[in-house]
Amino acid sequence: MGCSLARALGWRVVSSSTAFPGQSPLAETAPLSLCAREPHVPADRLVAEMVPPPRFDSVRFDTYVPDPNQPSQSEAVTVLEGFAAGLGGAHATGSGRRKWFGSKKPAAPAGPRGVYLDGGYGVGKTHLLASLWHATPAEPSLKAFGTFVELTNLVGALGFQQTVRTLSGHRLLCIDEFELDDPGDTVLVSSLLSRLVESGVALAATSNTLPGKLGEGRFAAADFLREIQGLSAHFRPLRIDGEDYRHRGLPEAPPPYSDEQVARAAYATPGASLDDFPGLLDHLAKVHPSRYGALTDELGAVCLTGVTPVPDQSTALRLVVLADRLYDREVPVLASGLPFDKLFSDEMLNGGYRKKYFRAISRLTALARDAKGLVAQ
């Protein structure tokens, strides 16, 4: 299915002096199309971009607002501030960095070398993880921050041994949205984190799932129990309770708009993309998820028409990654068709990947609110 919505709707190229009633002048050129983008991301960019995303550039522990009804949130801030302060001494001396005091490797630390933020959707786990990254007294080049998907993509781009060498000199590795989607990830990540911990790298992760329950409902956990238990041993779990702050005290997400409203907004918004939803889903299957960030670079908004239920689980998981990258970059999403809480079937929302799907709904709903101002009233 094609993605050229402008042609499908019979739109003509117009000048910025042409405007619809009640709307600002249209952009000089037709909207962009995500389906026309085929980004290629070099491996060195993957490493350089392992920092908190733009949405979390300015977050700090003191900008986190704990819910007074959820004491675990204040406790988490206290624990993480102490964790960051404890990373100000000796740094890792793995093979990825020059060793200043001889070649002897440091002894593996006793007890967990990491902290694992476990909690529901929208309680501020990523805010706290990014705050930990900012608070850790080390140069940015000695700290890495990325989602679990980005970490596994880095291994795919660099190879396992080069990834170990690249990250083993770091003081801290932050992994957002830690989850296991297949048995191969279990073995890969268990081996990688074990090697990094041996090199003295501290770990921090966020997830909606306790470490001992990773992979539950997706594959036979008993077959990989040793690896899962090994992963759990690296972390001290820290529970964070609370309701989704993205919906706390905010109005309901706006209902979907008409195709014409979405197209008008796309033509009137600089840097907006305009695609039909089924065509975009087809295109995502042709782009590696490690490139979804580059796919959304420098977008002013994402405009989608004809949102329909996601047809299968593979497509749904790709959409989850795209939603994460759009949310990281604070790109508003304007859509027609079904509302975002109807994207995934009841079977999906009750299956092994349900937490990923609920996160995607939460984030897309927040981005839909951000897009309300793009539509002429």
Residue found under tokens 């019979």: 10
Q: Is residue 211 one of the residues assigned to a domain? A: yes
Same domain, 83 and 220: yes
Q: Check if the beta carbon of residue 349 is closer than 8 Å to that of residue 313.
A: no
pLDDT the model gives residue 246: 58
What is the per-residue pLDDT for 7?
A: 38
Confidence check: pLDDT of 345 > 60: yes
Q: Are residues 132 and 173 in the same domain?
A: yes
Q: What is the pLDDT of residue 130?
A: 98
* Six-digit token string for 213: 């329950």
Percent above pLDDT 90 for the chain: 53
Bridge partners (DSSP) of residue 276 are 305
Q: What is the pLDDT of residues 53-112, one digit of tens each?
A: 988 999 999 999 999 999 999 999 999 999 999 997 544 444 333 332 333 444 444 557
- In tens, the pLDDT along 19-34 reads 444 444 455 578 999 9
Domain stops at, among 201, 217, 245: 245
What total of structural domains would you count in the chain? Answer: 2
Residue pLDDT, tens place only, 106-124: 444 455 779 989 887 778 9
Please say which residue of 245, 277, 293 terminates a domain: 245
Looking at the fold, whether 33 and 75 belong to one and the same domain comes out as no
The answer to whether residue 267 sits within a structural domain is yes
Which residue, of 220, 245, 270, is where some domain finishes? 245
Residues 167 and 296 in one domain: no
Domain shared by 233 and 301, yes or no: no
Which residues 6+ apart lie within 8 Å of 161 measured at CB?
Answer: none
Provide the whole-model pTM.
0.77
* pLDDT tens figures, 215-243: 555 444 455 456 667 777 888 888 898 87
Residue 48 lies inside a defined structural domain of this protein: no
Cα distance between residue 62 and residue 64, in whole Å: 5
Domain that holds residue 122: 64-245
In CATH, what number is assigned to the domain containing residue 218?
Answer: 3.40.50.300
